[in-house]
Amino acid sequence: MTSVANRRSMMGLYSGNICIRSHQVRFVLSEKGIVTQINNYDGNKIPEDLIALNPFATMPTLVDRELVLYDSRVIMEYIDERYPYPPLLPVNPVDRAKIRLALTSLEVDIVQSAVDLDQSLGTRNENSCRKKLKSALNATADLFSVNKYFLSEHFTIIDCVLGPILWRLDYFHINLTNDHKNMKSYMQRVFDREAFHDSLTEDEEEMHL
């Protein structure tokens, strides 16, 4: 067992309070048990020191000593490589490549659709963005019946990516039917993880009551 003291980190995370990509990174940090200074901000309030660190002033932004990372996928893979236990990417190079390929596909089909919907809430584009995300989820529905987790019997970084999106379905007014029973079972397995609960901000907790 690795003690908490040994897992202590000098890292800091600039995180959006209800930002999907920030939530994904917080989930990875929680799964790893890494003690990190997490600063959650309202999406409309950009801290001045973040502007100095990140030319795009986007969240999430990870600061690890002299290193500054501001792409959520790069951040998650960096964390997994720096803190290899528990692994969120397979050790086998072939399996690792397959997971990375799946992440690329999910980014295009689901993650970006969820981010677009989140940003369109309250605008005239909301319904079309909702339909796009729902269609993307329906296209993957059968995959939730194959393994315990998404594409694997073991919990991986993909589940850290999908979990925060699926948590927001009620918030996005996307209703699952009986045809999605395997997806619902998967969601419950992910949501029941202690690390997932630890990754939630107070505002995110209220999205799924």
Give pTM, 2 decimals: 0.91
Cα separation, 85 vs 202, whole angstroms: 28
Decide yes or no: CATH 3.40.50.1100 for domain 4-82.
Answer: no
Torsion angles phi and psi, residue 201, rounded to 5: -85, 170
| Closest to 164 in 3D by CA, of 94, 111, 98 | 111
Structure tokens at 98: 């397959």
| Per-residue model confidence as pLDDT tens digits over 102-136 | 999 999 999 999 999 999 999 999 999 999 999 99
Which residues of the chain form CATH 3.40.30.10? 4-82
Residue 161 has pLDDT above 90, yes or no: yes
Mean pLDDT computed over 19-40: 94
What confidence category does residue 209 fall into, taking pLDDT thresholds of 50, 70 and 90? low
For domain 93-208, is the CATH number 1.20.1050.10?
yes
Whether residue 23 has pLDDT greater than 90 = yes
Nearest-angstrom CA–CA distance, 4 and 65: 20
**Is a pLDDT exceeding 70 seen at residue 25?**
yes
Mean pLDDT, rounded, of the chain: 90
Tell me: cis bond preceding 86? Omega within 30 of 0 counts: yes
Residues of the chain within CATH 1.20.1050.10 domain(s) are: 93-208
**Cα separation of 168 and 201, whole Å?**
13
pLDDT band at 2, cuts 50/70/90?
very low
pLDDT of 1 > 70? The answer is: no
The CB-side HSE value for 161 (13 A sphere, CA atoms) comes to: 27
